[in-house]
């Protein structure tokens, strides 16, 4: 797995009525944090748990993407990646995808399409998750299912391309297959031409 420098910054949002009321313990969120740290070399800069309410979900995502997280010494750090877990199914209270879609500036459904394609070999039930994916400011937001297995398998399925996606979103790479030197900075822009975006 490519590791970015500076490391990828991540926040994890657990969306669950019962976790937010303290009726059960969130294990999916901590599991996702571990995967990000261990397999992406990422820094987890914030976590929250909110009920299955659109206003709570959108407020958490907007706050992280637009204001960032207090990083000490008055510095604020913004997450490259905002992961949510929970509320992506068809249960009557599942509204995470709708809340997320309402704050996205740019949608990127193909990223979770890849996850489903790869998770299909484990279970066709991966297609029951309605998760959205896209960007707000410089953050990539990904909705994962609420179950420990579903969330970790889905994230695991796209770990290999996340670093490149985030590098591009940061503006460090251009993927248009054209080569030049930025006139204003003289800095050589990296160009990839690997058949991707």
Q: Which stretch binds a copy of itself (CB under 8 A): 37-45, 54-62, 63-71, 172-180?
A: 172-180
Token readout for 197 is 């975006």
Q: Which distant-in-sequence residues (6+ apart) come within 8 Å of 32 by Cβ?
A: 12, 83, 85, 144, 151, 152, 155
Nearer to a copy of itself, 55 or 73 (CB): 55
The reply to whether 88 sits near a copy of itself by the rule CB under 8 A is yes
Cβ–Cβ under 8 Å, residues 34 and 26: no
Quote the least distance from Cβ 73 to a copy of itself, whole Å.
Answer: 27
The reply to whether 68 sits near a copy of itself by the rule CB under 8 A is no
Restricting to residues 89-128, which ones interact with a copy of itself according to CB under 8 A?
89-92, 94-95, 97-98, 105-114, 116-117, 119-120, 122-128
Nearer to a copy of itself, 1 or 197 (CB): 197
Token readout for 20 is 């937010």
Q: Which of 75, 171, 184, 187 binds a copy of itself (CB under 8 A)?
A: 171
Q: What is the DSSP letter of 25?
A: -
Classify residue 190 by burial, with Cβ atoms within 10 Å: 0-12, 13-18, 19+. Answer: exposed
Residues 97, 45: Cα–Cα separation, whole Å:
23
Question: Is omega for the bond preceding 6 within 30 degrees of 0, making it cis?
Answer: yes
The reply to whether 146 sits near a copy of itself by the rule CB under 8 A is yes
Quote the least distance from Cβ 88 to a copy of itself, whole Å.
Answer: 5
Restricting to residues 7-36, which ones interact with a copy of itself according to CB under 8 A?
16, 18-19, 23-25, 27-28
């Amino acid at each position: 797995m490519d590791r970015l420098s500076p490391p990828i910054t991540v926040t994890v949002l657990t969306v669950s009525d019962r976790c937010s009321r303290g009726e059960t313990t969130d294990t999916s969120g901590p599991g996702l944090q571990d995967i990000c740290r261990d397999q992406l070399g990422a820094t987890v800069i914030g976590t929250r748990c909110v009920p299955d309410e659109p206003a709570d979900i959108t407020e958490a995502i907007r706050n992280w993407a637009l204001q960032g997280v207090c990083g000490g010494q008055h510095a604020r750090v913004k997450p490259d990646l905002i992961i949510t877990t929970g509320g992506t199914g068809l249960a009557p209270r599942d509204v995470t995808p709708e809340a997320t879609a309402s704050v996205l500036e740019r949608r990127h459904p193909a990223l979770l399409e890849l996850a489903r394609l790869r998770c299909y070999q484990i279970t066709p039930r991966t297609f029951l998750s309605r998760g959205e994916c896209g960007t707000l400011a410089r953050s990539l937001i990904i909705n994962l299912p609420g179950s420990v297995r579903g969330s970790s398998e889905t994230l695991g399925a796209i770990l290999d391309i996340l670093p490149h996606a985030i590098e591009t979103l940061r503006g460090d790479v251009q993927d248009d297959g054209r080569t030049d030197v930025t006139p204003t900075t003289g800095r050589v822009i990296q160009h990839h031409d690997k058949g991707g975006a």
